[in-house]
Amino acid sequence: MRRILFVALLALGLGTLTEVSGNHLPEAGLNLNERFFDEVRELIKRRMEAKQLPLAGDELALQNQRSYDNVPIPAASVPVPVLVENWPTDQHSFGQVTAVSVDPEGNPVIFHRADRYWDVNTFNESNIYYLIEYGPIKEKTIYVLDPKTGAIKTGWGSDMFYMPHGMTIDAHGNYWITDVAMHQAFKFRPFESKPQLVIGKRFRPGASVKQLCKPTSIAVATTGEFFIADGYCNSRILKFNAAGKLLRSIPQPPEFLSLQVPHAITLLEHLDLLCIADRENMRVVCPKAGLKSSHGEGQPAATIQEPDLGRVFGVSGYGDIVFAVNGPTSMLPVRGFTIDPRSETIIGHWGEFKNPHSIAVSVNGSALYVTETGTNHQTNRVWKYVLA
């Protein structure tokens, strides 16, 4: 009963009662317990009465927006990914392809590890990269592909990265990259070796506001604000302004959102949502991004968690929907998902994979790409889908 009332308090937005549960309530006898429950009932009563009051101004606008947000997407308007057979036309010898993005010209761009592999010997217990002495990867780690044939058009990124992970290309063609070995996130102009912006301290993992620890992914808004999934160790999202000043951390009080390895992130700017591949919690969660206003920040996140979803590795937003891929999870099929955050449901399944790691949709919605990581060039690959 105590737990039920505590959950009710959280659901009603009354919860500033921290560390109150069946194991933490005072053990001072029936009188104190009765007084506690009386106070709970009074709080619930006041909250329910407040819900009946007419709303005005920003509160009314916010409620109207919530009503709009909950409208499900008509099935007829949902694009369906269809595999493009025999793409690429020629086989590539990539290393583990950890990320894919699409540049403003519609070219798919991949980020790979060449001859590097992440295994149990890559980091110590303090998340320090063991192989610093080997230096950065000598080979080009970024390749721009032809969208029609998959042939390599150009490449760059040699002698720059140690353990590639995430890559996002923004509307201006800037490359946003994470390296889990260096514990850093970077912003580059195309084909430049010197970053415009660096977040985190080189090879120094940490949880302070100036450090990262194995960051996984970056999402960039048209406003210039950007989000970093600080990923494997800290399980948090950091929001920055365009100049790299930290604005907030997600989650933060009063948000009741616990992340376990936020592996990829994407923005649905129209809905002001940041959708997170919350990998080890086996779900996609979409808190308010706070790009339009700060009113929605801290609200309960839209949550998509269904039995067949499994560990989510990649997410990519398109319009009001999210495309996602899961990874090996027990006996579940490894495949793609189409998700409607407004109704908090999976509205489509597609594809068949072995070990997908990332996903990206072109800006005009003409194509979708999925990358896989494996142990050889045949399993390290890129798939192309068209959206029909």
Binding site for Ca(2+): what residues are annotated?
A: 100
Over residues 152-177, mean pLDDT: 97
What whole-number percentage of the chain has pLDDT above 70?
A: 80
Q: Cα(322)–Cα(315) distance, rounded to whole angstroms? A: 6
Confidence of residue 310 (pLDDT cuts 50, 70, 90): very high
Tell me what pLDDT residue 34 has: 47
Where do the domains of the chain lie, and which CATH numbers do they carry?
A: 95-387 (2.120.10.30)
Judge contact between 240 and 254, C-beta under 8 A.
no
Please, which residues have CB within 8 angstroms of residue 110's CB and are 6 or more apart in sequence? 94, 97, 99, 100, 142, 143, 145, 371, 382
Judge contact between 275 and 265, C-beta under 8 A.
yes
Tell me what pLDDT residue 31 has: 42
The tens digit of pLDDT for each residue in 246-301 reads 999 999 877 789 999 999 999 999 999 999 999 999 999 999 999 987 766 778 99
Binding site: what residues are annotated?
A: 100, 113, 165, 232, 263, 279, 357
Binding site for Zn(2+): what residues are annotated?
A: 165, 263, 357
Phi, psi of 367 (to 5 degrees): -150, 155
- In whole numbers, what is the pLDDT of the chain averaged over residues? 85
Tell me what pLDDT residue 15 has: 36
Q: Would the pLDDT of 24 be above 70?
A: no
Binding site for a protein: what residues are annotated?
A: 113, 232, 279
The tens digit of pLDDT for each residue in 344-379 reads 999 999 999 999 999 999 999 999 999 999 988 889
Q: Cα(362)–Cα(101) distance, rounded to whole angstroms? A: 8
